[in-house]
Amino acid sequence: QVQLVESGGGLVLTGGSLSLSCAASRTIFSINTMGWYRQAPGKQRQLVASISSGGSTNYGDSVKGRFAVSRDNAENTIYLQMNSLKPEDTAVYYCKAMYRGYAYWGQGTQVTVSS
C-alpha cells in the first residue's frame, strides 16, 4: 500500500503562485506513475499533471505552460509548481500514485484563487 499526504494549498490572488507537495509512505522508485488531479465543485476530477518513474511528464491542456510537476526520489515526494493562477484553477487538488496496478489517492488540499 501507499499513503499519500498533500500539503501546500491555500488562498492566492489571481496571477499568483503556489507550490504543492505530495509525500509518499514508500520509496517512489517503485511507483510507476504519480500525478496531480483536481476536482472543482460540481465537476469531474481531472488530470492536472503526471510524472513517470523515468521522469516523463504529462499535463492537462488548461495548465500547460503554467504548472510544472517534478519529483524528488530521495525525499519520496512529488511537487506541483503552479504559476499564473486563475480563478478557474480553484479546486481540491489530489495526489495519485499507481502502484502494482492499484490507484492510491491522498486526502486532497484546497486551492482557492481569488479575483
Average pLDDT by stretches of 10, the chain with 115 residues: 94 98 88 94 96 94 98 92 98 95 96 96
Confidence at residue 94, expressed as pLDDT on a 0 to 100 scale: 98
Task: Supply the pLDDT for residue 65.
Answer: 97
CA distances from 79 to 41, 44, 71, 114, 115 (A): 23, 22, 6, 22, 25
- 44 phi, psi to nearest 5 deg: -75, 155
Q: Which phi and psi angles does 109 have, rounded to 5°?
A: -140, 135
Q: Which amino acid is at 112?
A: T
CA distances from 67 to 70, 92, 115 (A): 10, 16, 19
pLDDT at 21: 98
Output the pLDDT for position 70. Answer: 96
Report the pLDDT value the prediction gives residue 30, as an integer from 0 to 100. 81
DSSP state of 14: T
